[in-house]
């Protein structure tokens, strides 16, 4: 005896009970279900996540399968998992870079806390998840991105536009590509702003899901120019656990808040050290400082990265830890931070009630 045939409305109702745990809302109201088709007792649909760096992919898929399989009249469920990175919300009224969905600024109060290390590994982790990623080195007087990501060479020009170099599948631009090695860049404020403007608008970034911008330390010209020139999807603040560094991190955070840039959260770098001989964990700079600061400041804590010589060596050799030793706890820590960053971008972009806007392909810059 044939039972009642299942309808699209039944399936959507069942799927509206499945939540994206990061976004805290159901998949239907988030606009994540596409290509729903029903052939007899076989239901097929696509779940379009807001980032390929979603750690909960498997869980969301099995939750969907369970919900739909439970419907009467359903024998088989075909689910395709896909991802389309949401366009960041950014600050109101600013014109973005065509083709670039999200610009993520990596900032810190002071130097040497691992901003460049975090930028490079964040970019690689996002790229490994399947996203299209670029890194813009905005530290004009201390451009370390090329060294740390192992990008060498001279970018080519094309009709007055600059072709970025590519390292590990990530597009890279840095002032270091344009000056002889060892030459100091001594520029005043307006020139720094000008260089950043060029790097944003005169580089052939193509289509990118995430453009990671490695800022110089502090609240100087580069940070202000960046926040004023384009809409930022958000700012990642890097700090070490000790008090002095956190005080500086707080200043940097306050500046970006003043510029109305969304704060994605704080990463604690050089968080602890695991002794390679006795495996004991040593909290060299104290413990949990950044997490407590994040709580106090009302911003998310994005995770901790251990202090490890392999991270430093990876930076020096241009083989980031994510490539040097991808299964190490350090690489895993970077991946987790990247996932939280991607999830936070989606949360900020979609807002508390927002639905993914109907997707329009963004124009690609070609010349
Ligand atoms: N978690 C870490 N463990 C070990 N060394 C690190 C770590 N993070 C950064 N470093 C090293 O510390 C130095 C400063 O890091 P860097 O990323 O250049 O900081 P910043 O860009 O904030 O000045 C570099 O030599 C880098 O390799
Ligand atoms: Mg740096």
Residue-wise DSSP of 271-318: --EE-TTT--EE-TT-SSHHHHHHHHHT--EEEEE---HHHHHHHHHT
> How far, in Å, is the centroid of ligand 1 from the Cα of 112?
6
* 129 within some domain: yes
Quick one: residue 41, left, alpha or beta (phi over 0 = left, psi -120 to 50 = alpha)?
Answer: alpha
Do 109 and 64 share a structural domain?
no
* 90 within some domain: no
Nearest C-alpha neighbor of 232 from the set 349, 44, 91: 91
Ligand 1 within 6 A of CB of 303: no
Do 135 and 76 share a structural domain?
no
Give per-residue burial for 206-232: e unless 16+ CB within 10 Å, then b. bebbbbbbbbbbbbebbbbbbbebbbb
Do 107 and 53 share a structural domain?
no
Gyration radius from the chain CA atoms = 22
**Residue 356 confidence (pLDDT) above 60:** no
Query: Among 73-82, 95-104, 145-154, 330-339, where is mean pLDDT lowest?
Result: 95-104
Do 41 and 126 share a structural domain?
no
Kindly report the CATH number assigned to the domain that includes residue 183: 3.40.50.300
Q: What is the mean pLDDT of the chain?
A: 89
> How far, in Å, is the centroid of ligand 2 from the Cα of 329?
23
* 126 within some domain: yes
Do 145 and 35 share a structural domain?
no
* 298 within some domain: yes
Phi, then psi, of 260 in degrees rounded to 5: 65, 25
Ligand 1 within 6 A of CB of 315: yes
d(CA 297, CA 86): 27
Question: What is the model's pLDDT at position 121?
Answer: 97
* Residue nearest (by alpha carbon) to ligand 1 atom 9: 114
Do 280 and 177 share a structural domain?
yes
Query: Among 232-246, 264-278, 342-356, where is mean pLDDT lowest?
Result: 342-356
Mutation to probe ligand 1, out of 312, 319, 320 (largest number of atoms < 8 A from CB): 312
Which pair of structure tokens corresponds to residue 57? 């992919």
Ligand 1 within 6 A of CB of 270: yes
> How far, in Å, is the centroid of ligand 2 from the Cα of 105?
13
* 30 within some domain: yes
* 97 within some domain: no
Counting ligands in written order, the one closest to the CA of 330 is 1
Do 241 and 129 share a structural domain?
yes
Kindly report the CATH number assigned to the domain that includes residue 79: 3.30.300.130
Supply the range of the domain harboring residue 12.
8-83
* Residue nearest (by alpha carbon) to ligand 1 atom 10: 312
Counting ligands in written order, the one closest to the CA of 137 is 2
Ligand 1 within 6 A of CB of 113: yes
* 358 within some domain: no
Percentage above 90 pLDDT, the chain: 61
Domains of the chain: total:
2
> How far, in Å, is the centroid of ligand 1 from the Cα of 312?
6
| Strand arrangement of the beta sheet that strand 76-83 belongs to | 33-39, 42-49, 76-83
Ligand 1 within 6 A of CB of 307: yes
Contacts of 102 (CB under 8 A, 6+ apart): 85, 86, 87, 88, 209, 210, 211, 233, 234, 345, 349
Do 76 and 114 share a structural domain?
no
Ligand 1 within 6 A of CB of 119: no
Ligand 1 within 6 A of CB of 110: no
Ligand 1 within 6 A of CB of 324: no
3-state SS assignment for residue 213: strand
**pLDDT tens digits, one per residue of 176-221:** 998 888 777 777 777 888 889 999 999 999 999 999 999 999 888 8
Do 262 and 313 share a structural domain?
yes
pTM for this predicted structure: 0.90
Q: Which ligand 1 atom is nearest residue 120's CA?
A: 17
Do 313 and 255 share a structural domain?
yes
Do 52 and 164 share a structural domain?
no
Question: What is the model's pLDDT at position 92?
Answer: 62
Do 194 and 61 share a structural domain?
no
Mutation to probe ligand 1, out of 105, 109, 117 (largest number of atoms < 8 A from CB): 117
> How far, in Å, is the centroid of ligand 2 from the Cα of 114?
7
* 356 within some domain: no
d(CA 65, CA 46): 12
């Amino acid at each position: 005896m044939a039972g009642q045939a299942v309808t699209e409305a039944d399936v959507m109702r069942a799927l509206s009970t499945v939540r994206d745990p990061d976004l805290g809302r159901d998949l239907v109201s988030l606009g994540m279900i596409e290509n729903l088709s029903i052939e007899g007792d076989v239901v097929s649909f696509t779940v379009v996540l807001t980032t390929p760096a979603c750690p909960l992919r498997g869980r969301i898929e099995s939750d969907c399968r369970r919900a739909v399989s439970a419907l009467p009249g359903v024998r088989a469920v075909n689910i395709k998992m896909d991802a389309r990175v949401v366009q960041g919300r950014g600050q109101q009224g600013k014109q973005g870079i065509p083709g670039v969905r999200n610009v993520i600024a990596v900032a810190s109060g002071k130097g040497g806390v691992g901003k460049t290390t975090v930028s490079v590994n964040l970019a690689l982790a996002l790229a490994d998840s399947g996203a299209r990623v670029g890194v813009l080195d905005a530290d004009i007087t201390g451009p370390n991105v090329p060294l740390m990501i192992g990008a060498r060479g001279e970018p080519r020009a094309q009709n007055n536009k600059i072709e970025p170099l590519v390292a590990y599948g990530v597009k890279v631009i840095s002032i270091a590509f344009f000056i002889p090695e060892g030459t100091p860049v001594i520029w005043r404020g307006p020139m720094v702003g000008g260089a950043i403007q060029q790097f944003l608008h005169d580089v052939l970034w193509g289509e990118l899901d995430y453009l990671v911008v490695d800022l110089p330390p502090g609240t100087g010209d580069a940070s202000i120019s960046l926040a004023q020139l384009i809409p930022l999807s958000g700012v990642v603040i890097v700090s070490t656990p000790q008090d002095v560094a956190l005080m500086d991190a707080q200043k940097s955070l306050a500046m970006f808040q003043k510029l109305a840039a969304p704060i994605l959260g704080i990463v604690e770098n050089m968080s602890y050290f695991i002794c390679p001989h006795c495996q004991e964990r040593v909290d060299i700079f104290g413990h949990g400082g950044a997490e407590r600061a994040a709580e106090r400041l009302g911003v998310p804590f994005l995770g901790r990265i251990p202090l490890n010589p392999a991270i430093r060596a990876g930076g020096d050799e241009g083989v980031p830890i994510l490539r040097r030793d991808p299964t190490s706890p350090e690489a895993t820590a970077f991946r987790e931070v990247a996932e939280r960053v991607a999830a936070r971008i989606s949360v900020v972009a979609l807002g508390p009630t927002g639905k993914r806007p109907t997707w329009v392909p963004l124009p690609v810059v070609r010349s």
